[in-house]
Amino acid sequence: MADEIQHLTRAFSGLGGLGVDEPAMVSALAKWRRQPEKLSGFRKSFNGLFKDHAGVIERCEEEYMLHLAAEFSRFKNLMVMWAMHPWERDARLAHHVLHQAHPAAIVVEVACTRTAEELLGARKAYQALFHHSLEEDVAYRARDKPYCGLLVGLVSAYRYEGPRVSEETARAEAKALAAAVKGAGGAAAKLVENDEVVRILTTRSKPHLVETFKHYKEIHGRHIEEDLGHEETLREAVLCLATPAKYFSQVMAAALSDGADHHAKEALTRVAVTRADVDMDGIRAAYHEQFGGKLEDAVAGKAHGYYRDALLSLVAGGK
């Protein structure tokens, strides 16, 4: 019986991972009917969920019930997000982060990793759903942040998506970025408010920015994100615009780390759903290059139950 209780405890707790093991719970439901002594043993052994109450009953802990509800909801949230129209999904993602005490990363993702038409569609959906424009909500919600101008420019962009790049202009703007970095003297807030930096990042095509950042590295021997200090929004914008697979592999690695908080774990669903049909092959390759091992193995080792199966379907695809 001890092994069965341990198995059910693991199914409920996820051992600090992601999701719960629904099949194991259903199995126990079928096997343990009319066996109250097993359920009593389970309650007594699971101190995280149940606490002795006056020596009479094992009472459910409110905090853990909230945690458990969140873990059960991961699969539901993934399926709902997957079923949504991409424009509505992006609009709702942006609205949620703008109206909660979250970092701006999700808005940066939507603004910088979608095509011009996809971003325009998300802006249309945002206005239809919430009766405000995405731009005005960003401007208002981020009004006290040093990155406000950058963020407004990013969500307002409609970038050229053709392959043509002026090498001369790219080299000149690499030098302009280098001058801005040097002039900021390590002050990240000063750099993110630099008009030239904001202009380049919010108006240039992605192929142009890739060339610009290549020239920057040739000048300094370092990738530009290494020189952006602690200004996360600026660094995320640069990565999302030029190397999105690298960025998303880092986000997924953070979500799968032992110390991941609630917001970091939420990103696993978001990235799996939004990138599955876009660049998941590139994300897997970037993950392997940066962290070693396979992304799908990391997901399988951390996630649980139907949530794990759904994640692996999106992350591994037909691999």
Distance CA 237, CA 247 (A): 10
| C-beta separation of 228 from 235 below 8 A | yes
pLDDT at 54: 58
- Which class in CATH covers the domain with range 245-319? mainly alpha
What angle, 0 to 180 degrees and rounded to 10, lies between the N-to-C axes of helices 62-83 and 305-316?
30
Q: What is the mean pLDDT of the chain?
A: 89
Distance CA 286, CA 253 (A): 11
> Given pLDDT bands bounded at 50, 70 and 90, which one contains residue 170?
very high
pLDDT at 59: 67
Tokens of 102: 């979250």
| pLDDT tens digits for range 12-52 | 765 556 888 888 877 877 777 667 777 777 777 777 677 77
> One-letter amino acid identity for 108?
V
Burial string for 246-280 (b: 16+ CB within 10 Å, else e) reads: bbbbbbbbbbbeeebeebbbbbbbbbbbbbbebeb
> Given pLDDT bands bounded at 50, 70 and 90, which one contains residue 195?
very high
Tokens of 164: 């043509």
Is residue 11 scored above 90 in pLDDT?
Answer: no
Residue 184 burial (10 A CB sphere; 0-12, 13-18, 19+): buried
Alpha carbon 18 to its chain centroid, in Å, reads: 14
- Percent of the chain's residues with pLDDT above 70: 93
pLDDT at 1: 61
| pLDDT tens digits for range 108-142 | 999 999 999 999 999 999 999 999 999 999 999 99
Question: Which of 260-269, 272-281, 287-296 is predicted with the least confidence, judged by mean pLDDT?
Answer: 260-269
Torsion sign, CA atoms 110, 114, 119, 122: negative
Residue 74 burial (10 A CB sphere; 0-12, 13-18, 19+): buried
φ and ψ at residue 58, rounded to 5 degrees: -100, 110
pLDDT at 13: 63
| pLDDT tens digits for range 124-133 | 999 999 999 9
| C-beta separation of 169 from 210 below 8 A | no
Domains of the chain, by residue range, sit at 2-60, 245-319
What angle, 0 to 180 degrees and rounded to 10, lies between the N-to-C axes of helices 105-113 and 116-130?
130
> Given pLDDT bands bounded at 50, 70 and 90, which one contains residue 56?
low
pLDDT at 32: 75
pLDDT at 235: 95
Tokens of 54: 């006056």
